[in-house]
Amino acid sequence: MKKIILSAFIAAGMAARLCAAVAEDSKIFTPFFDMSMTEAAFLPSEGNIFSGGNINTQVGLLAKATQADHLFGLYNFNYGGPGFAPQDSKQFTDRSMSHGFNIEYRRSVTDRIRLRPGVSLNREFRRTGANEAWQNGLYNMNSTGGQLAGDYTFDEEKNGYVTAQYLFRNVKFPNYTDLLTEFRNMNNTASVNGGLQDQTMGQFSLRPSWNKFFAGLTYTVQNYKNQKVVANTGVNSTVKQKDSDTAVDFGFQQSLWIFELAPMVSYTMHKSNQNFMLYKFLGDTSPQFGGKYYDFNELTLSMPLDLNITSKWAVGGAINLTRRAYDKRTARDANNNFTTEKQVNNMTTLTGSIRKRINEVAMVRLFTSLIVANSNNKFEKYMPYNYTGNSFGIAYQLSY
Amino acid sequence: MKRLIITFLALFLIKGAAFAAVDWESKGMQIAGEIMANPAGFFYDFQQDLEGTTPLPPGKRFSIQTGLFPTLIPMTYTNVSGKVRLHGEGRIAPGVPQLDLIGGYWDMLAAKMATKDSKTIDSAKFGGYYMGAIMSTSLSPRVRTFWGYKHSQLDARLKFKAGEQPEMLGTTVNSFDTGFKDDFFIAGIETPKGVGKLWSIQLNYGLKTQTFSSKISWYGKFFELGLNIFPEGVLVFHPVWNFHVNF
């Protein structure tokens, strides 16, 4: 599930960044540079201390051929290191590294309407705490595709515009294999299991923005090329897996006196026709069936607040909440048996920080966080669902 | 100041709410295991600390540099680096970026001394070099971006005398002969922090080994303070102190 959601966000994230670069009137070429880095130590209540962080580097160039025709190229390096994560998403020690290339042509049709067709290429590597080589990651992913976006400016004074975008991706997981199927039928390996996660993804989004308020409606569909839906007999049916996400979000970035506030709320409805067979051990002859196992609704709320003590220094606090409630999936008890309760995962993060602005383009932040994760799922042999943790670290950002 | 103290107190209160303990012995074993699994990678991270991969300040033609910490002290990497400007920004034609050649060499003094005096070490060689080029261009009067390439190489060889081999994590270590070699892509951005002082952040990415690091530096007329971060390294944080003279 994690790689599916990830692929959707990669596509959407890159597209959003592309829109951010703006040409300077006097220049033919305008560079775009954004580098941020976070490194932290994590101390969970279950397990030992570990370190992790994130690096994001975006370098791009906007070329102005004529007043109405622009071309924008962007390279994005992203590293996601070990860290706490919402339940059912990834292990603490999982890491990912991706290279993204995006080229976009911008055509101003009128003063208020702009079209932005583009192409995209992304390569992502994933590795677990076993430190396998990056090239061997089970969930390594390559994607290619394109997008067409249109911007309509309705209020130039308050920077009010609305963007409609459709993007398409062809996603391949070259190393993915169904390990359970391989184990159960050792004569059939890659030729049977290869390409199970390969998929096409289409996404439509509508995003209005005005006076530093923003909102969005995003609909994503993932069609699996080979993965079939498992039936309650434990045998794959002839129906291919199909997932969809419908997400709405709202937020703003405003300053009031010494306060800087940037809250954001989003709500996602994930639907999948895939089911789940729960094998308690290899060779289990009476597995339990979980129908519509992956459908969930997720609410995320983020409320960061900075108080500018001086022009350079600020103290900050933030609260982040994530609540995922499954439609049909029931929680498991400590013995790995389904209970009658629907599974609900909660994760709350409280953060305190000190920020220093080095100059108008650079800042550094020291932070410490308390994470509280709880769930009514009590089977935690492979992934923790109920824990507390501390993290403390440093973050840098330099953008132009 | 009062507000700052209250904030710190609040942060400590938050921190105390979680119940966790550090198993330092287990962590130490993990670190030792990671060094044994990839000794060259461990020593190469220190080589990156001494590598000068920022452009020459505008108006300077060349520079020499030596890494002081953690390279010379405590790792005993005797080292020297240099930069030479091929042409300044806009000198050949308007808009043409500044181009600098970079390079350096290091040798581990402790390895030489160990070979000479030790009763257990038969031979040891730790050393490396790097060379490359950095291109830099001003985005505005206060912001300069730079791009570069470097080739880095490290050789690490150690052989113990017969009967004197140490045991690490239950395994007898006779010798190791390893190395590191890669071509790196460099991208960074530089901005002034004060009069004659600069601040930069950069990414170094190894194209073959996919080794990467983030280097944050503050530098003035003679010294550079840095924080090099190796997210996939054994020691993630390397505080760095280098000495340089620009001419």
Euclidean distance between CA atoms A305 and A263, whole angstroms = 8
Backbone angles phi, psi at B199, to 5 degrees: -130, 135
Give the pLDDT confidence of B45-73 residue by residue, as tens digits. 999 999 999 999 999 999 999 999 999 99
Q: A53 with B231: CB under 8 angstroms?
A: yes
Domain assignment present for B204:
yes
DSSP letters along A180-217, please? Answer: HHHHH-TTS-HHHHTTTT-EEEEEEEEEEEETTEEEEE
Per-residue CA distances from A186 to A55, A113, A180, B187 (Å): 40, 58, 10, 47
Euclidean distance between CA atoms B11 and A365, whole angstroms = 14
DSSP letters along B3-39, please? Answer: HHHHHHHHHHHHHHTS-----HHHHHHHHHHHHHH-H
Contact list, A59 vs chain B (CB under 8 Å): 145, 187
Domains in chain B, number: 1
Domains and CATH numbers, chain A: 2-399 (2.40.160)
3-state DSSP assignment of residue A19:
helix
Instruction: Kindly state the tokens that stand for B211.
Output: 């080794």
Task: Reply yes or no on whether the pLDDT at B5 is more than 70.
Answer: no
Q: Which residues of chain A have pLDDT under 70?
A: 1-27, 179-193
CATH classification at residue B123: 2.40.128
Q: Is B191–A55 a contact, with Cβ atoms under 8 angstroms apart?
A: no
Task: Give me the residue label for tokens 């370098």.
Answer: A59
Domain assignment present for B19:
no
Euclidean distance between CA atoms A205 and A148, whole angstroms = 11
pLDDT score of A8: 41
Best of B12, B38, B139 to disrupt the A interface (most A CBs within 10 Å) is B139
CA-based nearest distance A216→chain B, Å: 32
Domain assignment present for B20:
no
Give the pLDDT confidence of A323-370 residue by residue, as tens digits. 999 999 999 999 999 999 999 999 999 999 999 998 888 899 999 999
Helix, strand, coil percentages for chain B (3-state, nearest 5):
20, 50, 30
Residue A304, beta-bridge partner list: A318
Percent of chain B at pLDDT exceeding 70: 91
Termini Cα distance of chain A: 35
Q: Is A362–B236 a contact, with Cβ atoms under 8 angstroms apart?
A: no
Per-residue CA distances from B42 to A129, B48, B111, B156, B195 (Å): 18, 11, 16, 11, 36
Q: Is B142–A35 a contact, with Cβ atoms under 8 angstroms apart?
A: no
Pairing of strands A213-230, B212-219: unpaired
Contact list, B145 vs chain A (CB under 8 Å): 31, 33, 59, 400
Best of A34, A54, A398, A399 to disrupt the B interface (most B CBs within 10 Å) is A398
- Residues 204-233 of chain A with CB under 8 A from chain B are none
pLDDT score of A258: 93
Cα–Cα nearest to A112, from A162, A152, A166, A140: A152
Give the pLDDT confidence of B144-199 residue by residue, as tens digits. 999 999 999 999 888 888 888 887 767 788 887 889 999 999 999 998 888 889 99
Residue of A nearest to B37 (CA): A131
State the number of CA atoms in the 13 A half-sphere of A99 facing the CB. Answer: 8
pTM, whole model, 2 decimals?
0.87
Q: A400 with A360: CB under 8 angstroms?
A: no
Task: Give me the residue label for tokens 């993932």.
Answer: A222
Residue ranges of chain B whose CB lies within 8 Å of a chain A CB: 3-4, 7, 10-11, 14-15, 17-20, 22-23, 26-27, 37, 137, 139-140, 142-143, 145, 187-189, 191-193, 199, 201-203, 205, 210, 212, 214, 216, 227, 229, 231-232, 236-237
- Residues 322-341 of chain A with CB under 8 A from chain B are none
- A243: Cβ–Cβ under 8 A, 6 or more apart, which residues? A4, A221, A222, A224, A270, A271, A272, A273, A274, A294
pLDDT score of B190: 92
Q: Is A148 on the interface with B (CB under 8 A)?
A: no
pLDDT score of A282: 78
Higher pLDDT, B21 or A92: A92
Residue A123, beta-bridge partner list: A99, A142
Per-residue CA distances from A239 to A200, A214, A271, A275, B8 (Å): 16, 39, 15, 11, 57
Residue of A nearest to B1 (CA): A309
pLDDT score of A24: 59
Euclidean distance between CA atoms A204 and A134, whole angstroms = 32
pLDDT score of A233: 87
Domain containing residue B137: 25-246
Domain assignment present for B39:
yes
- A38: Cβ–Cβ under 8 A, 6 or more apart, which residues? A53, A54, A55, A393, A394, A395, A396
pLDDT score of B112: 82
pLDDT score of B118: 80
DSSP letters along A164-175, please? Answer: EEEEEEEEE-TT
Contact list, A35 vs chain B (CB under 8 Å): 187-189, 201-203
Residue B4 has a CB neighbour count (10 Å cut-off) of 12
Give the pLDDT confidence of B110-131 residue by residue, as tens digits. 888 878 878 888 888 889 999 9
Contact list, B199 vs chain A (CB under 8 Å): 358-359, 362
Residue A290, beta-bridge partner list: A276
What is this model's ipTM? 0.83
User: Does the CA dihedral B208-B213-B214-B219 come out positive or negative?
Assistant: negative
Give the pLDDT confidence of B209-241 residue by residue, as tens digits. 999 999 999 999 999 999 999 999 999 999 999
Number of inter-chain CB pairs under 8 A, A vs B: 123
